[in-house]
Chains A and B, each alone.
Chain A
Amino acid sequence: QLQLQESGPGLVRPSETLTLTCTVSGGSISSNRYYWGWIRQPPGKGLEWIGSIYYNGNTYYTPSLKSRVAISVDTSKNQFSVNLNSVTAADTALYYCVRRPGTLYHYIDVWGKGTTVTVSS
């Protein structure tokens, strides 16, 4: 059964870059079916789509974060990562890594447990 596990620092200073990694187990990240993505949830608030990456490296970002975000994949480690630069307190959130089942499927079928990131000096 496919599992996703987020990892990264729980505390990031304002104006610095947030980097999170998602380790995929129970399946290959190189499969030509799936999209791998990130979603966040600020404390007490709703979900926000961040972006995704296809197995071929194509990336797609939500317009509001496009200038600050980058998602990459490391097939040798079966991992994908998100970098968000110039962070502010508004980037404090629970970050989930997720899987979208394919080009014709527009939903999330696998979620990580999430990792909390706090932006504070």
Chain B
Amino acid sequence: QSALTQPPSASGSPGQSVTISCTGTSSDVGNYNYVSWYQQHPGKAPKLMISEVSKRPSGVPDRFSGSKSGNTASLTVSGLQAEDEADYYCSSYAGSNNYVFGSGTKVTVL
């Protein structure tokens, strides 16, 4: 199985929105509503931001939202803030208790 495809970088000014795509196949993203998104600041462990395509865990700001269409999932960060600058990774269930991650997207707040 191959890594999910994400754009290497994305950017936006404070207050703007940025959307990150995550493209897989009909064997992972397209077959299950089990896409999750993780935020990773430098030197830190990843943090869950979105589960099951669009569910926000407790404590995650509602500026973060997720969606999916076909084999592509998306994470949107609205009202960008300086602390949103980080790497973001998507992940999808791929069957048989196996998972695949995206290649990662570096979000820069201009």
Contacts and interface: CB of A to CB of B under 8 A. Distances in A.
B69 interface: no
B1 A108 contact: no
Interface stretch (B10-18, B73-81, B89-97): B89-97
Given A106-B52, A107-B51, A63 B1 contact: yes
B48 interface: yes
A47 B45 contact: no
Interface in B48-69: 48, 51-52, 57
Contacts of A114: 45
A60 interface: yes
Interface residues of B, number: 25
- Size band of the A side of the interface? 20 to 34
Contacts of B38: 47, 108
11 contacts: A35-B97, A39-B101, A45-B104, A46-B103, A47-B89, A48-B101, A49-B100, A107-B48, A109-B48, A111-B46, A111-B47
Interface of A: 35, 39, 45-49, 52, 60-64, 96, 105-109, 111-114
